[in-house]
Amino acid sequence: MAETIQVIIVDDHKLVTDCIGLFLRGAKDIDVIGIAHSGKDALSLLMKDEPHVVLADISMPEMSGIQLTAAIKAKYPNVKILILSMHSDYNNISEAIDAGADGYVPKDVSSEELVEAITTVSRGKNYFHSTISDEIVKNYATKRQQDDTILPQLTRRELEVLQLFAEGFNNSEIAEKLFLSVRTIESHKNHILQKTNMKNSVELIKFAIKNRIIEI
């Protein structure tokens, strides 16, 4: 029997939290354990009951969803963050991922896809709606004409790890595929970041696309 996914919803609009909460409470294997209308309220809820997934808006007073994401990841690294926002521009997407967001979907997403996104991030994978992925790729394509980075000397194993990571596999899955330990995979990823001079996962994925390590 699948474990019930415990979710906290964070949005400063009560109508939004009421509607999403009503729908998710009827979804299979999802349990809404809390609703917050500010980042501070959300952090207070986490002190009492740590969920599997926090579903958060970006635009909120006092503490934005990006600031909330960073605060949660700093104190509760195992909690997954799924951003649900009307903002689908690259800057917000990039800042959210830099802060530690595990997924990002627009507010006009279908109810079925929202459940899929929550389920996916709860399992340790990233989830980006197609419009979010398109925005990342579009931004990359624009900069590609301006930047001609030379592929650094990655080892065969590092290239394998980078390819699997860019294709969406997490550390555990990569370790299983390559018959290595998770710690070894983490070490390879750190070396790749250093050699490519990339700062985060989004930049690393764009690097893999640019250098045709994966195809889009």
Task: Render each residue's pLDDT in the chain as its tens digit; 216 residues.
Answer: 468 999 999 999 999 999 999 999 889 899 999 999 999 999 999 999 999 999 999 999 889 999 999 999 999 999 999 999 888 788 888 888 888 899 999 998 999 999 999 999 999 988 888 888 777 766 655 555 444 444 557 888 888 898 888 888 888 999 999 998 999 998 998 888 888 888 887 788 878 877 777 765
Pick the closest to residue 10 from 46, 26, 1 (CA basis): 46
> Which CATH number does the domain 148-210 belong to among 3.40.50.300, 1.10.10.10, 3.30.70.100, 1.20.1090.10?
1.10.10.10
Superfamily for the 5-129 domain: Response regulator (3.40.50.2300)
The answer to whether the CB of 90 falls within 8 A of the CB of 198 is no
The residue extents of the domains of the chain are 5-129, 148-210
Q: H/E element holding 9?
A: strand 5-10
Judge if pTM exceeds 0.75: no
